[in-house]
A and B are shown apart, each in its own frame.
Chain A
Amino acid sequence: MPYMTLDRTDLPSLAEALAGRGKRLVLPVREGPELFYREGADPAQLDLSTIPKNSIKEFLFPKSEKILEYEYTGNDVVIDDVDPDAGPAVIFCARPCDAASLPVVEPLWNWDYKDKFFNERRAQTLVVTYACRTAPDDACFCVSVGLSPSSDQGSDVLLYPVDDTRVAVRLVSPAGRELEEVFSGFKKGEVSEESLDAFAKEGEQSLADRKRLDKVKNWLEGHFEDPLWEEKASRCIGCGTCTFLCPTCHCFDIQDESVFDGGCRLKNWDGCQFSLFTLHTSGHNPRDTQPKRYRQRILHKYSIYPEKFGRILCTGCGRCVAHCPVNLSLYDVVSTAQERAEKGE
């Protein structure tokens, strides 16, 4: 089956057409030396040169979100439920590792409690993904966790930049297929299924040296105590950059902000790399050193979460590798674990 192609230069117009009637539009634009996904950015500024520094997480799970309001009236407290302040959205030219984070975290938000805030945003968000022809950054390792530079997981539509001028379109989900007409409006030509397969191969080839991380879980289960943690993570400064930039990290804190007559309750990003995260009121802190906190991050992603939800809580986007201020690379740590497991250590 052939796939339609459109001109790369038409992407900004396509973004506008998809957002059309009043949808929120998120797309990657340049800010200084880096790219960021931004809501409301000018489509003409669309920049696809590399993977953005932030992930798409903030558009489904905002850094701060109001979850209820309350008022004091006399001795009573009146609680008002609030709805997610969302509305339909299009994330345009997400990277595959970002899109793939959605099916990874969905079970979490629907486990013992169904988080209406995430779910409603998710239901209203269309994800149009821009596949990577070759890995855009040295930190990428999607192939290590079973994904690929042209993975369609979590995407409604997958765009393949098959060459410097043409972009092939694959409508992945039912929501994506409903948009056939919008895409057809930009159609300029066609490519064969084989050329998309070749594209996918080229992408995977660019990451040929990355290790498969299939034995990491096993290794972790037997090495809760191991010199590796101190050796690698005593440099960690607990800055939380890795958790906040990560598309799959999802911890939050609940804060009440109130004045005399009422207030509201907010759900704010939080992260396991902060010492306060596990500090008990008594003063006891079960994760009292940074290596223990770092170990937690790795364990949660590569052992605990897979155990519970059957998926690694990491899409290999490499942000925690590229942006850690002390260059403590998660890939370095988990690939070391993999190597040791392979050697039976």
Chain B
Amino acid sequence: MEESHGTEAGTERVDQETTATSWEPRIVAFICNWCTYTGADLAGTSRMKYPPYVRVIKIPCTGRFDPLFMIKAFERGADGVLVSGCHPGDCHYTAGNYNARRKYTVFKDLLATLGIDMDRVRFSWISASEGGKWVDTIKHFTEVIRGKGPFREYREMIDVG
């Protein structure tokens, strides 16, 4: 597994990993247990291949997603963050994803207002049967992030004293 230990919070030590030429994108994906996670699982059991640079964090439902998850991920070294869950109408808890969609709408504008590069943030709906969509989403997002390089601006804002 690629190490995420090199990420610094509260220290100014240089992140060797990202300065080296071997840098690969670090993507954190917050995905709901019932749809996208199962879809990603399907991709795995179907032996579909996709870039291994995504760290999956399972949440019960996109309704559980809190924008602070994304901020924490950026603080700790994520180069891109994906949030994905059940398609509208399919949420296991009926309306978690509708509520989430409103939160995304507001939060993405807030991030944009603050000048966070919105290409590093992505939202999707991927169902349990859409292993292929999961693979395509990750492939595409990985390429976008690879093109952008490491997201240092956020995590390195820790100069004190």
Which residues of A pack against B, CB within 8 Å? Answer: 62, 64-66, 69, 84-86, 256-264, 266
B contacts with A: majority SS: loop
Known: A257-B10, A263-B11, A266-B10. A65 touches B160 (CB 8 A): yes
Q: Among the listed B8, B160, B161, which residue makes an inter-chain contact with A259, where contact means beta carbons less than 8 Å apart?
A: B8
Please state if B161 and A64 are interface contacts (CB–CB under 8 Å).
Answer: yes
A–B Cβ pairs within 8 angstroms, 19 of them: A62-B160, A64-B161, A65-B161, A66-B160, A66-B161, A69-B11, A84-B161, A257-B9, A257-B10, A257-B11, A258-B10, A259-B5, A259-B7, A259-B8, A259-B9, A259-B76, A263-B9, A266-B10, A266-B160
Min CB gap B73→A, angstroms? 13
Q: Using Cβ atoms and an 8 Å threshold, which residues of chain A touch B11?
A: 69, 257, 262-264
Using C-beta atoms within 8 Å of the partner chain, give the interface range for chain B. 10 to 19
Give Cα A64–Cα B160 distance, bound, in whole angstroms: 6
Which residues of B pack against A, CB within 8 Å? Answer: 4-5, 7-11, 76, 160-161
Give Cα A259–Cα B4 distance, bound, in whole angstroms: 10
Q: Among the listed B5, B76, B160, B161, which residue makes an inter-chain contact with A261, where contact means beta carbons less than 8 Å apart?
A: B5
Please state if A85 and B10 are interface contacts (CB–CB under 8 Å).
Answer: no
Give Cα A257–Cα B13 distance, bound, in whole angstroms: 13
Min CB gap A196→B, angstroms? 37
Give Cα A235–Cα B35 distance, bound, in whole angstroms: 51
Min CB gap A319→B, angstroms? 23
By beta carbon, the residue of chain A nearest B3 is A260
Please state if A263 and B160 are interface contacts (CB–CB under 8 Å).
Answer: no
Best-surrounded residue of A69, A259, A260, A262 (most CB of chain B within 10 A): A259
Give Cα A258–Cα B9 distance, bound, in whole angstroms: 6
Q: Among the listed B4, B7, B10, which residue makes an inter-chain contact with A264, where contact means beta carbons less than 8 Å apart?
A: B10
Give Cα A95–Cα B139 distance, bound, in whole angstroms: 60
Give Cα A226–Cα B4 distance, bound, in whole angstroms: 57
Min CB gap A87→B, angstroms? 11
Q: Using Cβ atoms and an 8 Å threshold, which residues of chain A touch B5?
A: 259-261
Min CB gap A5→B, angstroms? 37
Give Cα A65–Cα B160 distance, bound, in whole angstroms: 6
Min CB gap B70→A, angstroms? 17
By beta carbon, the residue of chain B nearest A257 is B10
Q: Among the listed B7, B76, B161, which residue makes an inter-chain contact with A85, where contact means beta carbons less than 8 Å apart?
A: B161
